[in-house]
Structure 1
Amino acid sequence: MIFLFTDFGTEGPYLGQMEAVLRLQAPGVDIVNLVSNAPMGEPRWSSYLLAALCRQLPVGSVFLAVVDPGVGGERLPVVLHADGRWFVGPDNGLLNTVAVHSNETHWRIIEWRPTSLSSSFHGRDLFAPITARIANHDFSWSSRDYQKPGLDEWPSDISEIVYFDHYGNAITGLRHRKEYDGMALRVNGQRLAQANTFCSVPVGQAFWYRNSMGLVEIAVNRGRADRELGLSLGTLISFES
């Protein structure tokens, strides 16, 4: 399967153009639009969401990941093979958290170039064709090994909000740990108790919980945590007894 992870949004031509390349070059391979509203132009925050999602998906899957504000610049186009899954995208931090969370990794720089390469749409012209080839088990395209620098300094978790879902729930880059259970979460000067799920608290009450991806999340029952708590991407959180 091919999974798309982008900040393209669902409106406009970009997602469709990229998917068209995949369907033409990898016919018969299932394509899933996993996320199309990753934090816009923010590969660092997006990387924690990608890492949480991919662990729930099959080994052998290919992820086409494009959050690429530096498209056409000096950042490298890469392929990461991590614990049996493939990731194609820019080397701008987007794939770093996946690598840090994985036991076995292998990076390669994509040296292959199409006959026509737009300077502003590598997702369609460069990353999608390589994704299709990997899905077809074709590894004949030109590449070279890459010793990825800087991963020792890359944090495996961050105590920041990295994503807001459709309901205004705030997903953090912090994986849940047992030691957090029973503790209060502090955000924007407010102290939130833990709950198991939405209906565990009264309507309108804010709380934190372990979400379905295993991340710490902030929510309001029948409300929007982003608006009601004044949250934004990058807002810091902490735990206290």
Structure 2
Amino acid sequence: MAGYEWISLTTDYGTFDGFVAACHGSIAKVAPQARVIDITHHVPPADVARGAAVLAQTAPHLPPSVHVAVVDPGVGTARRGVVLATPHGLLVGPDNGLLIWAAEALGGIEAAHEISVKEEVSSTFHGRDVFAPAAARLAVGASLSDTGPEIDKGTLVRLPDPVVTVGDGWLEAEVLTVDRFGNVQLAATGETLRGLGADLVINGTVNARRGATFADVGKGDLLVFEDSAGHVAIAVNNGRAVVVLSVTPGDIVKVSVRQ
């Protein structure tokens, strides 16, 4: 293998402690020339679905990389550590569904390997002791078989598919993420908006307008639009849609034509 120049990191570690720096250090010891992109370290603790969504929406915009993701409430248990090969990069992390959406966004899983741990490691910090070193070895040219045995792709843990239902003049979709601006991203793709008009209502009570940018509605008004990741999203011009709608990830939101 030729290796990779880039490694990305996505975790729920936060930046108040030394966890992220320790992962950077584990990488630097093995692959000092590799450049590291920190996607985020502020995934809500143990929120695997949020981490999976952020990684899947970001990884395709990075150069070919080894993507390390660690949102791992099962650390130290029998859950596997895995490496997934795709046409546009490798993914390293726990086998808990965190990597699957990103693998599909990068062209699909071509092969999967379980990471063999041959030395004593911390039972609570596999990001530092298992995943970061494995990624660094892959970045400098180690083969997939060097990381551990190949496993059946069909045995990988997958998150449940988000709920999306489309009808005549309406759609219902699960809230996928809420960003720091309070914009509410739905699991539905932007294409599902094609059959809806400009005047909409959310959950049967809150009026909104379909548009393309925040300035398409007045200050304080709700906008339904296709976001930069290609999903249906709801925003408030100079406000926070998550507060107006009072929703959290996993809730179902209905967008329909206003009668």
Q: Report the TM range for the smaller structure's normalisation.
A: 0.7 to 0.9
Q: Does 1:147 align with 2:152?
A: yes
Displacement of 1:204 after TM fit? Answer: 0.9
**1:205 aligned onto 2:231:** no
TM-score, structure 1 normalization: 0.87
Q: 2:102 aligns with which of 89, 98, 102?
A: 98
Specify the SS of the correspondent of 1:78.
strand
Supply the distance in 1 between the matched residues of 2:94 and 2:159 (Cα, whole angstroms).
19
Higher mean displacement: 65-74 or 140-149 = 140-149
Matched, 1:87 2:91: yes
Structure 2 distance, partners of 1:4, 1:86, is 12
Identity, in percent, stands at 31
Distance 1:81 1:55 in 2: 14
Given the two structures, how large is their TM-score scaled by the length of structure 2? 0.82
Output the CA distance in 2 between the equivalents of 1:221 and 1:164: 15
Residue 188 of structure 2 corresponds to 174
Preserved CA contact (<8 Å) 2:8 2:67: yes
Shift of residue 108, structure 1, vs aligned partner: 0.8
2:14 aligned with 1:9, yes or no?
yes
Larger mean Cα displacement after TM superposition, 199-208 or 95-104:
95-104
**Aligned ranges 1:122-141 → 2 under 5 Å:** 122-139=126-143, 141=146
* In structure 1, C-alpha distance between the alignment counterparts of 2:43 and 2:181, rounded to whole Å: 15
Secondary structure of 1:162's aligned partner:
strand
Distance across 1 between alignment mates of 2:94 and 2:10: 12
Instruction: Specify the alignment match of 2:36 in structure 1.
Output: 31
Computed over aligned residues only, the root mean square deviation of the Cα atoms, in angstroms, reads 2.5
Runs of 4+ more than 4 Å apart: 150-154
What's the CA shift for 1:143?
0.7
Aligned equivalents of 2:61, 2:201: Cα separation in 1: 26
Which of residues 19, 27, 41 is equivalent to 2:46? 41
User: Which one has the largest radius of gyration?
Assistant: 2
1:65 aligns with 2:81: no
SS of the residue 2:10 aligns to: strand
- Runs of 5+ unmatched residues, structure 2: 1-5, 165-172
Counting matched residue pairs gives: 239
1:204-223 deviation per Cα after TM superposition (whole angstroms, max 9, x unaligned): 11222111222222211111
Q: Does 1:214 align with 2:218?
A: no
Q: Distance in 2 between matches of 1:240 and 1:150?
A: 38
* 1:178 CA drift (Å): 5.6
- Partner Cα separation in structure 1 for residue 239 and residue 30 of structure 2: 44
Listed as ranges, the gaps of 5+ residues in structure 1 are: none
The letter of the residue matching 1:52 is Q
